[in-house]
Amino acid sequence: MLKRRDLCKVLNVNSPASRIKLSPRLFAAVLLLILPALYFYPALTGEVALVQGDGWSQNLGVRVLIGRMIAAGDWPLWNPYIFAGMPLLASIYPGALYPPNWLFALLSPGAAMHWVVITTYHIAIIGSYFYGRKIGMTRAGALIAGIVFSFGGYMISHLGHTSRIAAGAWLPWILLSLENLHLEVRWRWIIGGAAFIALQLFAGEPQMTFYTVLVAGGYFAFSLLAREVPSRARFVAATAAMSVGGLLLSMMQLLPERELLRQSERAAISYEYFSGYSFPPRQILTLIFPYFFGGSPTSFGFWGEWTAGETCGYVGLMTLLLSFVALFARGRKPLVWFWTAAGLVALVLALGDYLPFGLNALLYRLPVYNLFRASARHLFEFDFSAGVLAGLGVSYLARSDRAEALRAFRPAAIILIVLVAGTAIAYRFFGSYLVTTTPRPTGAESLLAPEGLFPLVFLVLTVCAVWVYARSRSVWMGALLVAVLFADLGAFGHRFYWRVTRMSINKRLADPETVKFIKEREPDLNAFRIVSYSSFPFYYLSDEMLNFPNVSIARGLQSVNGYDALRLLRPSEMAGAMTLDGQVEDPRLFGKEHEGLNLLNVKYLFYQPPLPIDALRGVKYDGVRFEDKLLNWNLTAGTHLEFTPAPIAASSLALVTTMSNSTHIPDESPVARIRLQTADGRVLEHQVLIGRDTSEWAYDRDPGRMRHRRAKIAETWDAGGFQAHRYLSRFEFPRTEIVRVEFDYVRQDASLLILRASYYDSQTGHSMPVDTFTPTPARWRKLATFGRAEVYENLRVRPRAWFVGRLVVAPRAEVIEAIKTGLLRDGTAFDPSEVALLETEDFGGREIKLPPVGDTAGAEVRVSSYAAQRIVIETSQPQAGFLVLSEIYYRGWEAWVDGVRVPVERVNYALRGVAVPPGHHRLEMVFRAHSFRTGALYSAAGASSLLAGALITHRRRRRRLKTVA
């Protein structure tokens, strides 16, 4: 065995010519610093950008805004750039209080983003190393544990979820604090643990915090009950102080988040949403062959269930082998059993909706747990557990004699070889039996392709490297283990999607032609908003478009699009049932009756017509391709949808639909009518018949009650105890050019949900999504075309603030209906320039007293100053008036007229209104964010308590030392 002093002699590092003394500690420190940089070298060389997926569309823009606000000396509390305005800090996902994100105040967006991402992996690997060393691992073992957690499947596949990996990276640091407190209660670790808890919460992913609580809670209970503790009472008290301290430090984030959560759709989620992205049992094979089901952009497309990113937990073959070694080690330590149990529990929970006996439905009933979707994200805990077990396995080999090391190695190697051989056989001969909806690509069964060859190569390298290490356990062999594992995880990770994001972030953020065109027309970018619309916006990331949703922030344009899971529901409903990622679901939004965009001050529309759906995206049924995005057109009594697309050649219209509350409808009954107008003036009519074209979504829940047949099934999902379905229908006609399509629901009961709609041209074989944008000339004026992007001006847009001459109080449902239809309940037109709508519910049963409102003739309104959290408006009004602002109503916005505070009313469903006396006045609106201020007081109290505890303990300790002396 080559010892340290022998190694020093060989390298001659202690000679007078050498000034650097070789130190294992120094060597490990160097590796911890360079490995993340080495792994992400393509980003450092400018080859790729670390903004995969949501990193570009969701995370980058809000972090640019945070940096600008901090550089200007403002607290990042309000974001006026997305969803027509919403809380920024309270949203938590942007990570406004997370210190690494403040780099955006100092560096360019591209440099800041790369530093934030790469240092996240530094935090993960260093924390894992320190935790491994604290529980007794060798340096090689701790390095391996850190490499597995940092570069394993979970952390790499979620690289684009910037806040998710940032929060996840703090798990080992919190465990490190618990372990130190378990060994000896010291205030430094109470304070450190509290700080780590706060940093994880500030990073911006509550789901990772909740999973950390599960792991840390189990670790605490295990340490308290199954391990020797100097003083259990002190350990419990110290852990409680750390946890409470962490929560108190986080209150400046948690209180605003709770306030926003109650007003968002994430306050509660459906079981279908909760159970989405569960880990399919068949895809456990990806723990052996990471690309068993494809998913690498350099080769085969993904043919498994869900996505490769959400179901990836690959930890490397060496990790599995070393974990088995830890299990076969003589005198196994309790820690091995704990982390084995933690890994297995995490893997079971990851199965989610695939769990038997309805267990996932029971989990859905658990408070807090039922707020998080994607059970496969439990692979986060699995990867960390596997890394710890691997580190313990290496440490056992290093500290055992050769015979004991080989005794543990042999059965572990046999198990790994059997697992890899079985997976290889399944990959080569039985893969076709694992197909669900997406066909297996041709050639995907070849063991000579990288998907099959790489695992076999690394099996040989892994077994040989661990065998040699078990025999010699030298420093060099430890380095070989690290190198093989790093190469294995690198071979996997460098074939993942982050490697294909080839662009310069700073150049891509430069204004495209559409934005330049608007900026040339508009001297004041705060005087209007924009909306972007495309049938599939995330596929066409061309510079012709705005690259919405959140990229518009960096370009200085305020938008009603956005990407945030905690968006406010009211403005989103006004903007066409806007989804959390900024897509319009209600096609009536662009019609002449809908007042939503007018009220939201939307002056410009960026529109991109659809392209034929190629083989790289979408789903295919009966030869017709549909977009992945669901349309969610809900047709109820009286619903009429009408679209006027550019002429398109087609021979059929295909729909994916489902019915609700339709069990009583007889077979072959018409539920909807479709009218297609052709370029030559003909009208083609088709009826949608229940039983033939569509059926009840819950048909299998009680088939005996159904009075109609089950139509042709297109899609199926588990609805908790029964299979739910969506149905395929096709309406054929002679090939012609379609210039108009209309949908009418013809029943007074039940409802029809249209999920997908495509034209099909039998002559060309092309599928084209139904274009839902109909630019009414009386409302939309086309200004310019840039490539495939079109720019329209809204001719009926309302300004940022205006006086109205009448107030109308109506129930909430009638208010939003008036905005969508342009009609009040009595049938008169709703003109937002003259009428403002207040809600009956806002008066809470009190007597309704409306402020005096006079004639608006001669009224003047001018926005003299506009900032994210402060707006100043100069008004002049001969009579008392009511001012409507196209700004989102939210608790914390205060109004001051000439220095006197006045109430802010909610008007027009989601906007602000203020009563203004006659004459000339200065109205100032300021966002105070009371929940943030209250939380800041709690945080200050928490910091003071922690510091006071440390100071008192330090003084007591000094007095004891003096007494002993």
The answer, yes or no, to whether residue 3 has pLDDT greater than 60, is no
Interval 372-388: pLDDT, tens: 999 999 999 999 999 99
Residue 445: burial class (beta carbons within 10 Å; 0-12, 13-18, 19+): middle
Q: In the structure, what pLDDT confidence band is assigned to residue 539 with cuts at 50, 70 and 90?
A: low
CA distance 911 to 887: 5
CA distance 562 to 157: 23
The answer, yes or no, to whether residue 504 has pLDDT greater than 80, is yes
- 393 neighbors 326 (Cβ within 8 angstroms): yes
Residues 575, 581, 582: CA angle, nearest 5 degrees: 30
Reported pTM = 0.90
Interval 553-598: pLDDT, tens: 999 999 999 999 999 999 999 999 999 999 888 888 998 899 999 9
Predicted local distance difference test score (pLDDT) of residue 389: 98
Six token digits for residue 925: 């609106």
Interval 679-725: pLDDT, tens: 999 999 999 999 999 999 999 988 999 999 999 999 988 776 788 99
Q: What is the DSSP letter of 530?
A: E
Predicted local distance difference test score (pLDDT) of residue 20: 45
Interval 177-226: pLDDT, tens: 999 999 999 999 999 999 999 999 999 999 999 999 999 999 999 999 99
Average pLDDT over the chain reads 91
Predicted local distance difference test score (pLDDT) of residue 675: 95
Residue 357: burial class (beta carbons within 10 Å; 0-12, 13-18, 19+): exposed
The answer, yes or no, to whether residue 14 has pLDDT greater than 50, is no
Query: Which H or E element spans position 946?
Result: helix 930-964
Interval 88-137: pLDDT, tens: 999 999 999 999 999 999 999 999 999 999 999 999 999 999 999 999 99
Instruction: Tell me what the mean pLDDT of segment 35-61 comes to.
Output: 93
- For tokens 């805004």, the residue is 65
Angle between helices 379-399 and 171-183 (to 10 degrees): 50
The answer, yes or no, to whether residue 31 has pLDDT greater than 50, is yes
Predicted local distance difference test score (pLDDT) of residue 538: 60
- For tokens 């283990």, the residue is 481
Length of the chain: 965
Six token digits for residue 311: 């179901």
Beta bridge partners of 922: 874
The answer, yes or no, to whether residue 805 has pLDDT greater than 50, is yes
**In Å, how far from its chain's centre is CA 836?**
36
The answer, yes or no, to whether residue 281 has pLDDT greater than 70, is yes
3-state secondary structure of 265: helix
Residue 183: burial class (beta carbons within 10 Å; 0-12, 13-18, 19+): middle
Predicted local distance difference test score (pLDDT) of residue 630: 84
Predicted local distance difference test score (pLDDT) of residue 615: 63
- 744 neighbors 673 (Cβ within 8 angstroms): yes
The answer, yes or no, to whether residue 527 has pLDDT greater than 60, is yes
- Phi and psi at 110, nearest 5°, equal -65, -50
Instruction: Tell me what the mean pLDDT of segment 159-184 comes to.
Output: 97
Q: In the structure, what pLDDT confidence band is assigned to residue 537 with cuts at 50, 70 and 90?
A: low
Q: In the structure, what pLDDT confidence band is assigned to residue 545 with cuts at 50, 70 and 90?
A: low
CB atoms within 10 A of CB 443: 11
- For tokens 């009371």, the residue is 930
Mean pLDDT lowest for which of 406-410, 628-632, 677-681, 871-875?
A: 628-632
Instruction: Tell me what the mean pLDDT of segment 798-802 comes to.
Output: 97
Predicted local distance difference test score (pLDDT) of residue 773: 79
3-state secondary structure of 17: coil
Q: In the structure, what pLDDT confidence band is assigned to residue 2 with cuts at 50, 70 and 90?
A: very low
CB atoms within 10 A of CB 952: 11
Contacts for 305-308 with beta carbons within 8 Å, 24 or more apart?
Answer: 305/280, 305/436, 305/437, 306/276, 306/277, 306/278, 306/280, 306/376, 307/277, 308/157, 308/496, 308/497
Interval 830-878: pLDDT, tens: 999 999 999 999 888 777 888 889 888 889 999 999 999 999 999 999 9
Percent of the chain with pLDDT over 90: 76
Predicted local distance difference test score (pLDDT) of residue 439: 82
The answer, yes or no, to whether residue 486 has pLDDT greater than 60, is yes
CA dihedral 476, 478, 480, 481 (to 10 degrees): 170
CA distance 893 to 911: 11
Q: In the structure, what pLDDT confidence band is assigned to residue 903 with cuts at 50, 70 and 90?
A: very high
In terms of Cα–Cα distance, which of 718, 540, 689 is closest to 629?
A: 540
CA distance 239 to 468: 42
CA distance 335 to 594: 62
Name residues whose C-beta falls within 8 Å of residue 316's C-beta, 6 or more positions apart in sequence: 148, 152, 458, 462, 485, 488, 489, 492
Predicted local distance difference test score (pLDDT) of residue 959: 81
Predicted local distance difference test score (pLDDT) of residue 13: 39
Predicted local distance difference test score (pLDDT) of residue 70: 96
- 624 neighbors 760 (Cβ within 8 angstroms): yes
In terms of Cα–Cα distance, which of 808, 867, 863 is closest to 836?
A: 808
CA atoms within 13 Å, Cβ hemisphere of 395: 25
Predicted local distance difference test score (pLDDT) of residue 208: 97
Interval 256-275: pLDDT, tens: 999 999 998 888 898 888 99
